[in-house]
Amino acid sequence: MAETSLLRKSDLNSLSFGNISEISAARRNGAEPTLSFEFFPPKDEVGEANLWNAFEKLLEVSPDYVSVTYGAGGSNRERSLAVVERMSKQVLTIGHLTCVGATKSSTLEIVKFFEQVGVGAILALRGDSPKDDPDALSKGELKTALELVDLVREATDLEVGVAAFPEVHPESPNMEHDSRVLALKQASGAKFAVTQLFFSVQAYTDLVASAQAAGASLPIVPGVMPISNAKQIVRMAELSGAAIPDELLAKFDQAEDEDQAREIGMAYSTQLAKDLVAAGAPGIHIFTLNHHAAALELARGAGLCR
């Protein structure tokens, strides 16, 4: 097998940049894609150890930034904020912020916290209602991510990013509607978008074309999941509404064991990352699930790090 060419060669210190747009521009000026990783706050001590072990391993390949998720209805708020604070001291960090079920005052408290710890951006998301409070959205003061973008932009100079949906938002009638909403978010001050889970280059390029047609010109960074556990990823895809290509499902069905299924999945997700960069994606945001091995395998296989 031919060795993959290294696409990110410049040695950049992410903490010398003020926000995500600045370091992304530095990469773009050098014709290089960004590399970033997503983590989620742990639920217990074992999860805590896994998270920080993965973080330290992935920090060794000098990601341009990382992001930390925020649970449904702020269910893991304190853990999430603690992770953001610790990571932001070592690498440019995006703090996810959801508004479902939240008051404006509680949301602004978190924005102020993000200011104090010096995050690189806030990813403004509506979020989903937690399982134990399915009516949370109707109870909160903020109903949409667009309202959250407006609130954050009024309250802070921190950069704001938003979500984009290659497979169309589950509550949206079509991609054209999604794209109009994305354009409104950009008009309100959003500077970049990160996609939800998807599995084909076509889904990404269709999204970008639709967004541009609607007037949304902000960079859209594709989120890619390393397929190291086929059964787990299939379940996640079903829950998120992301379509896994039939040919990949067929290969999984033909796999002799889990090791072979992993090999098939990792080869597919690595090629997907390569093809996305070739198709013009500004970088790759890897969903780590708080594990480093598959994330590193994907990043290295796609030429995003040594």
Tokens 């590193």 belong to which residue? 296
Structure confidence at residue 100 (pLDDT) = 77
The more confident residue out of 142 and 231 is 231
State the average pLDDT for the chain. 92
Amino acid letter for position 248: L
The more confident residue out of 179 and 142 is 179
Query: How large a percentage of the chain has pLDDT more than 90?
Result: 81
* pTM as predicted: 0.95
CATH architecture of the domain with residue range 14-301:
Alpha-Beta Barrel (3.20)
Rounded to an integer, the average pLDDT of 232-249 is: 91
Task: Please identify which of the residues 32, 38, 147, 159 carries the catalytic annotation.
Answer: 38
d(CA 159, CA 165): 20
Structure confidence at residue 2 (pLDDT) = 56
Residue-wise pLDDT tens digits, 150-191: 999 999 999 999 999 998 887 888 999 999 999 999 999 999
Structure confidence at residue 1 (pLDDT) = 47
Helix H, strand E, coil C: the string for the chain is CCCCCCCCCCCCCHHHCCCHHHHHHHHHHCCCCEEEEEECCCCCHHHHHHHHHHHHHHHCCCCCEEEECCCHHHCCHHHHHHHHHHHHCCCCEEEEEECCCCCHHHHHHHHHHHHHHCCCEEEEECCCCCCCCCCHHHHCCCCCHHHHHHHHHHHCCCCEEEEECCCCCCCCCCHHHHHHHHHHHHHCCCCEEEECCCCCHHHHHHHHHHHHHCCCCCCEECEECCCCCHHHHHHHHHHHCCCCCHHHHHHHHHCCCHHHHHHHHHHHHHHHHHHHHHCCCCEEEEECCCCCHHHHHHHHHCCCCC
Structure confidence at residue 172 (pLDDT) = 86
pLDDT at 279 over 60: yes
- The verdict on whether 38 is a catalytic residue reads yes
Rounded to an integer, the average pLDDT of 43-68 is: 97
Instruction: Point out the least confidently predicted range of 45-54, 97-106, 108-117, 200-209.
Output: 97-106
Rounded to an integer, the average pLDDT of 212-232 is: 97
Rounded to an integer, the average pLDDT of 99-104 is: 82
Structure confidence at residue 71 (pLDDT) = 66
Residue-wise pLDDT tens digits, 67-88: 999 865 555 778 899 999 999 9
